[in-house]
């Protein structure tokens, strides 16, 4: 019985990790200017495990250098740039290295101060035949100029 439970937990963990997203663009360390539009590319690698995409949130928050870095992003994501559906598709000019992705054009807030900032992507989906919830946050650090 213990072996069956361990096998089930391992398979759920593997299925969940196969559904993870990553931020394809902008690259970590990219410079952005307040008031401009940027493209955020969110990739979701293929998986044999069925999943249903529920929602995606893209947000940005400036880091406070006086406090020694960025706030705890699990408690405060900053300004929401996009909140809505997520429907990743292969690009039209597909290559074998591509994975399903979706691009979002978002405006960098005018009020964002110069210096480091964290762009966050929050992803929520239902995974597997039993539809267990998958919730994750991916971050990349940008330079506001």
Residue-wise pLDDT for 101-137, tens only, equals 999 999 999 999 999 999 999 999 999 888 899 999 9
Residue 6 has pLDDT above 50, yes or no: no
Taken in order of first residue, the domains within the chain and their CATH numbers are 2-144 (2.60.40.2550)
Identify whether the C-beta of residue 90 lies closer than 8 Å to the C-beta of residue 108. no
Question: In whole angstroms, what is the distance from residue 48 CA to residue 75 CA?
Answer: 33
Quote the CA–CA distance of 79 and 142 in Å, as a whole number: 14
Asked whether the predicted pLDDT for residue 19 surpasses 70, the reply is yes
Q: What's this model's pTM, rounded to 2 decimal places?
A: 0.81
Residue 7's pLDDT is 40
Stretch 51-60: mean pLDDT, rounded? 94
Cα separation of the two ends of the chain: 58
Predicted local confidence at residue 71, as pLDDT: 65
Please state, in angstroms and rounded to a whole number, the distance separating the CA atoms of residues 72 and 18. 26
| Lateral strand order in the sheet of 22-25 | 22-25, 37-43, 101-107
Adjacency order of strands within the sheet including 115-127: 31-32, 132-144, 115-127, 51-62, 79-84
pLDDT band at 4 (very low <50, low <70, confident <90, very high): very low
- Provide the pLDDT for residue 98: 84
- Do the beta carbons of residue 120 and residue 78 sit within 8 Å? yes
pLDDT digits (tens, 9 = 90+) for 82-104: 999 999 998 888 777 789 999 99
């Amino acid at each position: 019985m213990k072996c069956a439970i361990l096998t089930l937990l391992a398979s759920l963990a593997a299925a969940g990790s196969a559904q993870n997203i990553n931020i394809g663009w902008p690259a970590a360390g990219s410079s952005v200017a307040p008031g401009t539009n940027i493209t955020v590319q969110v990739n979701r690698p293929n998986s044999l495990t069925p999943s249903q995409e529920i929602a995606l949130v893209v947000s940005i928050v400036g880091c406070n250098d006086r406090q020694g870095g960025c706030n705890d992003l699990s408690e405060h994501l900053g300004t929401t740039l996009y909140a809505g559906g997520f429907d990743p598709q292969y690009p039209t000019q597909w290559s074998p290295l591509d994975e399903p992705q979706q691009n979002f054009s978002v405006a960098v807030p005018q009020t964002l101060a110069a210096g480091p900032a964290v762009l966050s992507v929050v992803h929520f989906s239902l995974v597997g035949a039993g539809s267990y919830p998958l919730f994750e946050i991916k971050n990349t650090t940008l330079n506001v100029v």
